[in-house]
Structure 1
Amino acid sequence: MWVQRIGKLVGRVDSSFHVDRSEIEARLQVSLPDDYFALATRFGEGAFCRFIFVHDGRADSGDGLLAMWHHLSATVGRGDAGGGGVLSPYLMFEPGEAGLIPWGGTELGDIYFWYATPGVDPSSWPVIAKASDGLDDTLENGMARFEVSASEFLWHVLADPEFTPFGIANSVGDIWFTSQPEIDSSDRV
């Protein structure tokens, strides 16, 4: 339902992009939420308002979910849940262990995660959003937890004027989606 609402919001009715669901889930050793794959299949690689992105679902993509998970795991390690680390009070996901898996973010550095728990229905995983430095000092370590799916969270970011500090509805006029090939060609001016 939320993926369709986002499609209607941005005027993208039907698209079908390749996703490597079985390979991604095999490498992570966990099933991911269906709505993520619905987003990745519908929109592919690109950005909403050239600002907000969902990591694409290709296993070999440099901008894909696996690449971002590997990058963050290498950058911050598993983390230190109680020690005030960059992801505190959370840890990065490791196969077999609960933790954060990044699925999207913004050009300013906000990061959208699931709090993934192996053995728990992935459709019930909450979204954890980490604000970029200085965005909102009312959040604990810049992080907020939302008991919604990735697609519902994304819809609120795009369309809900009261969704602070992560929403953009008050900052932009029309909401649109640009595929990566369109972004690449417009950047080559």
Structure 2
Amino acid sequence: MENAVDRLADIIAPPAPAGTEVNWEETVRRLRTALPTDYVQLIERYGGGQFDGYLWLLEPGSSSDYDLAEITEEREEALEYLWNEGEAKPAVLDAPGVRAIAWGSTDNGEYLYWLARPGDDPDAWTVLVNEARGERWEHFAMGCAEFLVTTLTGEVRSDLLWSLYPASPHEFFPSALIDHED
């Protein structure tokens, strides 16, 4: 059976040269966890970047504004602040040790997270989407690569993501091009 990253490559060709060099040991240290295999494969094949002019795949070590560890640290702090100030914490996140680890964002301000439960293999992590400037969350019982594929093909729709996503034709814009424009 074709994996989700291969299916994605059938939908949107990876950039040439594909992906970027990542210090995975440093990323794991900063995030305090291993990462899902499909995410590692996405970064190795595509690198970070933007799908269909809207959804950003965060990348470890990116010198743009889309660094995986930096955004995760920022979002964990922001969510903790919001929940301490009275915003409703989603039930799926309201257990000891459960984390929402950011892996994507959008131009509208939504964030995409892995639902990381203590003891779970990272390959079993599923996707959470949090609306921009709001309390609504959606849960998708799939990994990040499958989420990308199924939202790009229209097999899965999110009520929180922009109604004009996905675009046609599909495109991928590598964040490495942003990183080197200065």
Task: Give the TM interval when normalised to the shorter protein.
Answer: 0.7 to 0.9
Look up the equivalent residue of 2:128 and give its one-letter code.
I
Q: Deviations over 1:88-120 (max 9, x none)?
A: 345599xx9221000002111111101112321
Question: 2:111 matched to which residue of 1?
Answer: 111
Look up the equivalent residue of 1:66 and give its one-letter code.
A
Q: How does 1:5-154 map to 2 (within 5 A)?
A: 5-12=7-14, 15-58=18-61, 62-77=65-80, 80=83, 83-85=86-88, 87-89=89-91, 91=93, 97-133=97-133, 141-154=135-148
- Report the CA distance between 1:60 and its aligned residue: 6.8
- Report the CA distance between 1:61 and its aligned residue: 6.2
- Report the CA distance between 1:180 and its aligned residue: 2.4
C-alpha change, 1:60 and 1:116, in structure 2 (3 Å) is farther
Question: 1:137 matched to which residue of 2?
Answer: none
For structure 2, list consecutive stretches of 5 or more residues without a partner in the other structure: none
Report which stretch shifted further, 120-129 or 161-170. 161-170
Q: Deviations over 1:28-73 (max 9, x none)?
A: 2221111111111111132112211110022776421100011112
Q: Deviations over 1:11-36 (max 9, x none)?
A: 22771311222211122222111111
- Alignment partner of 1:70: what SS? helix
Contact preservation (8 Å) 1:78, 1:92: no
- Alignment partner of 1:128: what SS? strand
Contact preservation (8 Å) 1:25, 1:31: yes
- Alignment partner of 1:164: what SS? coil
Partners of 1:13 and 1:49 in 2: CA distance: 14
For structure 1, list consecutive stretches of 5 or more residues without a partner in the other structure: 135-140
Larger relative contact order (C-alpha < 8 A, sep ≥ 6)?
2
Partners of 1:67 and 1:45 in 2: CA distance: 14
- Report the CA distance between 1:169 and its aligned residue: 7.2
Look up the equivalent residue of 2:51 and give its one-letter code.
F
Residues paired across the two proteins, number: 177
Partners of 1:4 and 1:124 in 2: CA distance: 19
Partners of 2:41 and 2:146 in 1: CA distance: 12
C-alpha change, 1:106 and 1:150, in structure 2 (3 Å) is same
Look up the equivalent residue of 1:142 and give its one-letter code.
R
